[in-house]
Structure 1
Amino acid sequence: MRHLLLALPFALLPLAVAQAAHDHDHDHHDAHGSLDKHEHGVAALNVALDGQTLELGLESPAMNIVGFEHAANSDAARAKVAAARAQLEQPLALFALPPEAGCTVAGQELESPLFGNDGHDHDHDEHEHSDIDAEYRLTCAQPEQLKTLDLSAFFKQFPGTLKLNVQLIGPNGQKGAELTPANPRLGF
């Protein structure tokens, strides 16, 4: 499931290097010296279409999705995590695709320390910056009908997300876009 999404960062490496140099110049508030990019309100979405397979990979600070990053230590916090997970388990509701494309969910994987399944060892610094990662594999009967990806529902469900940096590889090549609640659509 990850082959296309894993190739995406390498295809966009020149852009990432330029952005990293820019970020390094402006990232003086990280007291922990973390190497990971973690900005509240901002998430990344990688989209790759290969034949009838559409893969989506979301990386977001937990703050954008549930409103906090610490372990869920109350009933209310556990309920928020459970509700967010249930919403993330409905990718066709969050990532609107043209119905005529006939896309169905073929597989998905959600990972986060908040879900208790990320498989990583954590020290105290990492607990302060929890992420939520979601990977989806869709099969589309008519992939040529994939003209747009509409993230209006995603922004509505997760209002803590103010910006989605989207990288797309599709039949027309690769492109990047910055989507916001006011500009939630991307053309293939």
Structure 2
Amino acid sequence: MRCLLLALPFALLPLAVAQANERSHAHAEHDSLDAHQHGTAQLNVVLDGTTLELQLQSPAMNLVGFEHAPNSVADRAKLAAARGELERPQALFGLDAGDCTVNTQELQNPLLAGAAHNEHDHDEQHAVDEQSEHGDIHAHYQLDCKKPDELKQLDLSELFKRFPATEKIQVQLIGPSGQQGVELTPAQASLNF
């Protein structure tokens, strides 16, 4: 299953190339060189049998409002709140159907690692500073769905609501109906499987 998720970007490469060509005329050099774009996130979704995998990649700015090491109580509170939201994928992705339970979940970013610990040592803080410039937060979830045929839709309304700095999400999905690539926004936040 993980191989299938990793192959998803290559399967949808023709779509990405077409979109890149369209955007290059409208946005010139800046967008084509900058893969890390505030306000934009990427989501890969694979539904294979009873296994649902989701992989979210977003600039930390979209989720916590900054990308530097936390330097205040308010920063640490924002990190803890974001971590708490990201640890509840069923709510974030509108997965109230299909009887899905989380098998594994991984959150990767030095900022989030710091939010999980109460003690901050100077060397750890320095390591976070070095690693987190323009840092992305990566979240990977694997869910077991006892009734996958009841999964009809992916609804990112809650994700947009809880992380309002996220303006659009590039979604690549492989499901029972084939593969799709779409851009979701707060105004158009759902996608059928």
Cα distance, 1:27 vs structure 2: 5.4
Q: Determine if the alignment matches structure 1 residue 95 to structure 2 residue 93.
A: yes
Q: Secondary structure at the match of 1:159?
A: coil
- 1:157 aligns with one of 155, 162, 170: 162
Cα distance, 1:29 vs structure 2: 4.0
- Residue 107 of structure 2 is matched in structure 1 by 110
Deviations 1:132-182 (A, max 9, x none): 110000111111111111111111110010111111000110011111111
Total equivalences in the alignment:
180
Distance 1:147 1:37 in 2: 31
Distance 1:178 1:23 in 2: 13
Deviations 1:39-92 (A, max 9, x none): 111101110011000000000000100001111111110111111011100101
How high is the sequence identity, in percent, across the aligned residues?
Answer: 63
Any stretches of 5+ residues in structure 1 without a counterpart? none
- 1:77 aligns with one of 64, 71, 75: 75
**Within 5 A, what are the aligned runs for 1:27-176?**
28-29=29-30, 37-99=35-97, 101-116=98-113, 127-176=132-181
Distance 1:105 1:123 in 2: 31
State the one-letter code of the partner of 2:61.
M
State the one-letter code of the partner of 2:160.
F
Q: Secondary structure at the match of 1:9?
A: helix
**Aligned partners of 1:98 and 1:147 also within 8 Å:** no
- Aligned Cα root-mean-square deviation (Å): 2.4
How does the TM-score come out when normalised to structure 1?
0.86
| Structure with greater helix percent | 2
- Residue 10 of structure 2 is matched in structure 1 by 10
Q: 1:171 to 1:62 in 2, by over 3 A?
A: same
**Aligned partners of 2:41 and 2:169 also within 8 Å:** yes
